[in-house]
Amino acid sequence: MKRVQLAVAPDGPTKDHQLILSEKAGLTRLSPWLTDAETAYVEQAVARDAQRFFFIRPEGKLLTVHVLKVQSNLQLALEEARLAGNEMLRELRHHKIDGFTLYNTCEDNRSLAYAEGMALGSYQFLKYYTNPEKKEKALRTIHFDASAASSADVLELQILLEAVFFARDMVNEPHSHFKAHHLAEAVRDTAFRYGFTAEVLEKDKIESLNMGGLLAVSRASAAPPKFCIMEWKPSDARNAKPLVLVGKGVVYDTGGLSIKPSEGMDYMKCDMAGGATVLAVCMAAARNRLPVHIIGLIPVCDNLISENAIVPGDVIRMYSGTTVEVLNTDAEGRLLLADALHYAKQYQPELVLDLATLTGAAVRALGNHVICVMGTAGDEVKKQLEESGWNTYERMVELPLWKEFGEELKSNIADLRNVGSGNAGMITAGKFLEHFTDYPWLHLDIAGPAYLRTANGYRTKDGTGVGVRLLYDFLKKYAKN
């Protein structure tokens, strides 16, 4: 699959197609590109709210002017630019243009966001077509003129985009082609390639550690579970104690014996989206050499059905020693996450963030545009993460973890039960996880935005890679504070 490349434009006069970002108040700055008559035309059309203009230049090259809407707030302005970039994709396809040089004439330079939206929107997953070229609507290159971005910024964005694509690819891989060991191999390969460390705990080790949650969920599967540990520890790390990222890695969730309805079950190949995001973030952090010490943990397995499966009513003993009455085998994510959260304690982490496609309740309550966040981290961290949510438009809403929600998790046979009453299911899931933490922690339920049936702007359909841009932004700022 060919994916878009961002690069700095070569020196000298360009023979490329050209795309110029402009704004209503700055149309005169188009004078190096447009004749007076053309500028007058653009001025009139912009007054009637037109935004995109196409001019033919010698040698059959297209000159495009995109007039961006001005927004008072920077975060809205960046999102506007991303969406505008994605909109332009369609026009470029229409003109059969697969590359251009980007120029900026706006006072607030939004070229990177514009290219980001365009690149993200151009993503396709064509691997399993026999003739993918027939389906391909690829965008190949975006060259940045010096007016648009610095080479360092372009490279950083290119790496971040590759991380998002990598996460999307993993989510989009069907279970037939992506089992627990594939995710573990992706962890090892990526770490080896980009200079961070990785260790994969195999089933015997998981057994000797008594990771009862992970073992219970994976029991019905012929594929053994894996527990992936990644570490990016640069010598210039700003944090004394690590920041731990935990991702749910259920490569397929049938629900187990509490089987899901067949309608929409195909969706459940997305159930390792949290894990994919954690791996992709480690990759982006290492490649861009973020000065933050990060540990990534991904418990990996599938939730299948066989005579060995756990049955509703079973009691299991978790890695932490806590006993859990499993009343619904479809509430599996919290079982493996709980083991990973307990594992994280040994690092005495400064902060732990977990990402998981954890509950249908999160989707029903807030839909596809929102990450549900909850946890015990301090207000400052919560504020920073929320801010990163607005910066990247991977937005979140905080839900309460009041102790009353935890009452529903009392079992009359074990320490905890794995499901509550059915109301506010995303919160009872959070309460369950909280039980296994003793450090500042935030849980991100990404069940809504991780996988889309239809595209939403530059968030393409199927796996979205949600969380990669969010956490990258968060980590970058975390390193600065």
Q: Could you list the residues that contact ligand BES (CB under 6 A)?
A: 253, 255, 267, 271, 328, 330-333, 357-361, 363, 419, 425, 447
H or E element in which residue 90 lies: helix 74-94
- Quick one: which segment of 79-87, 109-117, 249-257, 437-445 binds Zn ion (CB under 5 A)? 249-257
Q: Residue 35 or residue 423: which is nearer to ligand BES going by CB? A: 423
For the question of residue 260 being annotated catalytic, the response is yes
The closest residue (CB) to ligand BES is 360
Residue 361: which of Zn ion, ligand BES, none does it interact with, CB under 5 to 8 A by kind? ligand BES
Q: Report the nearest approach of ligand BES to the CB of residue 333 (Å).
A: 4
CB of 358 to ligand BES, least distance (A): 6
Tell me whether residue 5 is exposed, middle or buried, using C-beta atoms within 10 angstroms of its C-beta: 0 to 12, 13 to 18, 19 or more: middle
Q: Which is nearer to Zn ion, 79 or 332 (CB)?
A: 332
Q: Which of the ranges 29-37, 226-234, 264-272, 363-371 carries the binding residues for Zn ion, by CB under 5 A?
A: 264-272
Which range in 79-87, 203-211, 265-273, 473-481 contacts Zn ion by CB under 5 A?
Answer: 265-273
Give the position of tokens 């980001």.
116
**Which residue in the list 179, 226, 287, 334 is annotated as catalytic?**
334
- Distance between CA atoms of residues 81 and 21, nearest Å: 10
* Residues 6 or more apart whose Cβ sits within 8 Å of residue 114: 21, 66, 68, 81, 82, 84, 85, 102
How crowded is the C-beta side of 326, counted as CA atoms within 13 Å?
A: 27
Contact region with Zn ion (CB under 5 A), list: 78-86, 111-119, 268-276, 467-475: 268-276
Q: Which residue of the set 29, 61, 69, 260 is catalytic?
A: 260
Residue 419 touches which of Zn ion, ligand BES, none (Cβ within 5-8 Å per kind): ligand BES
CA dihedral 227, 229, 476, 286 (to 10 degrees): -120
Active site residue 248: no
Which of 271, 408, 445, 473 is close enough to bind Zn ion by CB under 5 A? 271
- Choose among ligand BES, Zn ion, none what residue 148 binds, the Cβ cut-off being 5 to 8 Å by kind: none
Between the alpha carbon of residue 296 and those of residues 160, 252, 330, the distances in Å are: 17, 21, 25
Residues 321-340 interacting with Zn ion (rule: CB under 5 A): 330, 332-333
> What is the full DSSP assignment across 279-344?
HHHHHHHHHTT-S--EEEEEEEEEE--STTS--TTEEEE-TTS-EEEES-TT--HHHHHHHHHHHH
- 128 is written with which tokens? 């399993």
Tell me the three state secondary structure of residue 455: coil
Query: Mind telling me the catalytic residues?
Result: 260, 334
Q: Residues in the site for Zn ion, rule: CB under 5 A?
A: 250, 253, 271, 330, 332-333
